[in-house]
Amino acid sequence: NLLRAMLAHKGIEAHLVLLDTRGMGRIERSSPAWLQFNHVILAVGSGAEGYLFCDPTVERLPAGSVGMHDLARDVLIVKQGRAEWVHTPDTLDSSIRIRADLALAPDGGLSGWLTFGGTGSDAAYYATYFHGLDRDERLRRMQEYAGEFFPGAAVMDIDYSPPSNAVREMSIRAYLVRPPRAADEQIITFPFPAAWLPAANTSGERRFPYTTSRREETATVTITLPENWTARTIPAPFSATSEIAHFTARWSVQP
């Protein structure tokens, strides 16, 4: 409401928008009680020209953007003396991107940089999150990530520059070292832990039997092999599609 008043002071008309971010099923339009909503954002513009939605509660999100939990929702725009039902955009504007550029030593040790990044809503969230940590806390968090993707790895250093304002993308990287492993464990599995899979939770009755946020997650890893080494075998490409997600994975060998 404060932002609505500030825009009005500049001659820009904006309206309060009621919505439910929990994905609890359809909204009952015939009797839109306040219990059906848990959040308020803004709609700038008019219905004839389309609305620009804005969520000022998400830190570091650029103006005119909304969080991932605001997307693809039936919302109620509150205007002077009346209300209007509309649907927020159904767009995929958020992603988490993991990248590792590593070198494999002849003794089986791994070392190199692991980069954690995000775009859209995820960039805003993680930029705010890491900005609130000191260097030691950031190092510990990146140690957790490194251990999930490359079990046994230790983070030696981190590289991070906190953003000073709104962001559309962010990244933080850590230099990791994984010591040599036993001869019978010289296998590098695809680095994507089960903990990072979509959380398809259930909670009572709704239109779909799950609630999860729309985002794209990618893990891209390059491993430089010792001189005259090559991969003996690589897994076949993998692809699977479910009602809530699409997964692909593949290895490739290059000179």
Q: Which residues contact 135 (CB under 8 A, 6 or more apart)?
A: 158
User: Over the Cα atoms of the chain, what is R_g?
Assistant: 23
Q: In the predicted model, is pLDDT for residue 25 greater than 70?
A: no
pLDDT of residue 205: 59
pTM over 0.75: yes
Would the pLDDT of 243 be above 60?
yes
Angle value at C-alpha 89, between 85 and 93, nearest 5 degrees: 155
Name which residue leads in pLDDT, 143 or 88. Answer: 143
User: Beta-carbon neighbour count of residue 224 at 10 Å?
Assistant: 11
Is pLDDT of 192 > 80? no
178: left (phi over 0), alpha (psi -120 to 50) or beta: beta
Please write the tens of the pLDDT for every residue from 29-76.
Answer: 888 788 889 999 999 987 667 899 999 888 888 887 888 888 888 899
d(CA 31, CA 40): 18
Q: What is the pLDDT of residues 73-98, one digit of tens each?
A: 889 999 888 889 998 888 888 899 99
The chain-wide mean pLDDT, for the chain, equals: 86
pLDDT of residue 206: 57
